[in-house]
Amino acid sequence: MKIVICGSINFVQEIKKISDELVKIGYEVEMPLTAQKILNGELSMEDYNKEKFDNDAHLRKIQDDVIRRYFNVIKECDGILVVNYDKNGISNYIGGNTFLEIGFAHILNKNFFY
């Protein structure tokens, strides 16, 4: 079974921990490309956070085609797992990209796990 993890990049360490646990019990797991880049040392969390205030921040996301890429990943999975911890005083935070990914999964009739 292939599970796609969706959630804020601010939860990258939690996403990694959940991914490792799922792999240990036999699941195939996909996580956001930006999370992979942070975990692989290609992008620091500090640089990622700076991008939010940079007028050209969207360029990396366009270059990596992150939205279309994740749509295609979700299309090939069995279900998504939404990682929605508290963030910035918001309980069970779900950001814009995660909301979009939930919509993709819904339209594609995928299973949901929270």
Per-residue pLDDT tens for 1-22?
999 999 999 999 999 999 999 9
Write out pLDDT tens, residues 52-71: 777 666 677 778 888 999 99
Instruction: With 0.75 as the threshold, say if the pTM is over it.
Output: yes
Place of tokens 């005083």: 89
- Token readout for 21 is 């646990």
With beta carbons less than 8 A apart as the criterion, state whether 113 and 81 touch: yes
- The residues that bridge with 79 in the sheet, in sequence order, are 3, 111
Which residues constitute the domain of residue 68? 2-113
Contact 29, 23 (CB under 8 A): yes
Domains in the chain, number: 1
pLDDT tens, position by position, 90-105: 999 999 999 999 999 9
